[in-house]
A = this chain, B = another copy of it.
Amino acid sequence: MPTEKPADTTVFNRRESEARSYCRSFPTVFTKANGSIMTAEDGREYIDFLAGCSSLNYGHNDPDMKAALIEHVSNDGIAHGLDMFTTQKAAFLETFERLILKPRGMDYKVMMTGPTGTNAVEAAIKLARKVTERRNVIAFTNAFHGMTMGSLALTGNSGKREGAGGGSLADVTHMPFENAMGENDTLEYIEWALDNPSSGIDAPAAFIVEPVQGEGGLNAASKEWLQGIQRIARKHGALFIIDDIQAGIGRTGTYFSTEEYGLDPDMITQAKSFSGMGLPFAALLIKPEHDIWKPAEHNGTFRGNTHAFVTARVALEKFWADDAFSKEVQRKGEYLRERLQAMADLIPDATLKGRGMMRGIDVGSGELAGEICAKCFENGLIIETSGAHDEVVKVLAALTTPDEIFTKGLDILEAALRDAIGNNQIAAE
In the complex, whether A342 has a CB less than 8 A from a CB of chain B is: no
Interface size on A (CB < 8 Å)? 174
Instruction: Find the B residue at minimum CB distance from A389.
Output: B197
Interface residues of A in 161-177 (CB under 8 A from B): 161-174, 176
**A111–B19 Cα gap in the complex (Å)?**
7
Q: Which residues of B contact A405 (CB under 8 A)?
A: none
Q: Decide if B388 touches A197 in the complex (CB within 8 Å).
A: yes
Are B293 and A163 within 8 A (Cβ)? yes
What are 30 residue pairs bridging A and B, where the CB atoms are less than 8 Å apart in the complex? A4-B313, A7-B87, A9-B90, A11-B90, A11-B97, A16-B89, A17-B286, A18-B295, A19-B294, A21-B299, A26-B84, A29-B86, A30-B78, A31-B87, A31-B88, A61-B76, A79-B277, A114-B148, A116-B280, A130-B164, A131-B165, A132-B165, A141-B200, A142-B196, A149-B151, A150-B150, A156-B199, A170-B171, A180-B192, A279-B280
The yes or no answer to A43 lying at the interface (CB within 8 A) is no
Q: What 0/1 pattern do residues 75 to 95 of A give for CB contact below 8 A with B?
A: 111111111111111110110
Select one of B15, B85, B278 contacting A28, CB under 8 A: B85
Q: Which residues of B contact A197 (CB under 8 A)?
A: 157-159, 388-389
Distance A158 CA – B184 CA, assembled complex (angstroms): 26
A85, B32: Cβ atoms closer than 8 Å: no
Q: Which residues on the B side are within 8 Å of A424 (C-beta)?
A: none
- Copies of this chain, complex-wide, total 4
Residue A60, interface by CB 8 Å: yes
Which stretch (A64-72, A248-256, A344-352, A368-376) binds chain B? Answer: A64-72
* Residue A202 is within 8 A (CB to CB) of chain B in the complex: yes
Interface-side segment among A221-229, A258-266, A300-308, A322-330: A300-308
Is A143 close to B, CB under 8 A? yes
**Measured between alpha carbons, how far is A334 from B404 in the docked complex, in Å?**
64
For chain A residues 48-73, which have a beta carbon within 8 Å of chain B?
A: 50, 52-53, 55-56, 60-61, 64, 66-70, 73
Residues of B within 8 A of A407 (CB): none
Asked if A279 and B31 sit within 8 Å, CB to CB, the answer is no
A residues 190-206 near B (Cβ < 8 Å) are 192-193, 196-203, 205
